[in-house]
Amino acid sequence: MTAASAKALIAAIAYGFFLTQSANAASCGNFKSIAQAEIGSQVAALRRFEHEASDRLKGLDSRPFDYLRDEAKKVAAIIGEPGALAREEELKFCRNWTQPIRKICAEAALLLVDILDKHVADPKADFDKPKYAEAIGECEKLMDLKPMASAIRGTD
């Protein structure tokens, strides 16, 4: 190998390294806005199902809990898609710490599914309202949403 080809090889490796680093930095830098765009409509749907369940508890909505549970399961599966969660997990290597928005919202979605499942079995079901309120509140905060008052959270 000549000196010129060795220099070209080293330059190509360095160039590739810096391109990779800048791509990772960009992913770290705008992660929050990307996550908000990717799961924003699903989080809105969760809030809608929670609102309907809250109204159902107050006798204002006629949709059965099993319908709300099944729809919430679909949304929870989209938010908690394993590949997306794995990509989010890779961001823990970012220089600036990023919160796992998708993971936090997926956990809140699963709590809502569990609550709705309990209401399918017993319309007067008992569940940990503060735990759910905290989980969904953290999701809403990360999504830049105002917390919602609901009977499911014990705030309505």
State the pTM of this model: 0.80
Q: How much is the pLDDT for 13?
A: 53
Over the stretch 11-37, which tens digit does the pLDDT of each residue have? 445 444 443 443 344 477 788 899 999
Residues in the chain with pLDDT < 70?
Answer: 1-26
Q: How much is the pLDDT for 6?
A: 52
How far apart CA 13 and CA 10 sit, in angstroms, is 5
Q: How much is the pLDDT for 16?
A: 45
Domain locations along the chain = 32-142
Q: How much is the pLDDT for 5?
A: 56
Q: How much is the pLDDT for 7?
A: 57
Average pLDDT of the chain, as a whole number: 85
Helix, strand, coil shares, percent, the chain, to 5: 75, 0, 25
Q: How much is the pLDDT for 85?
A: 94
Over the stretch 40-55, which tens digit does the pLDDT of each residue have? 999 999 999 999 999 9
Which element (helix H / strand E) includes 27? helix 3-29
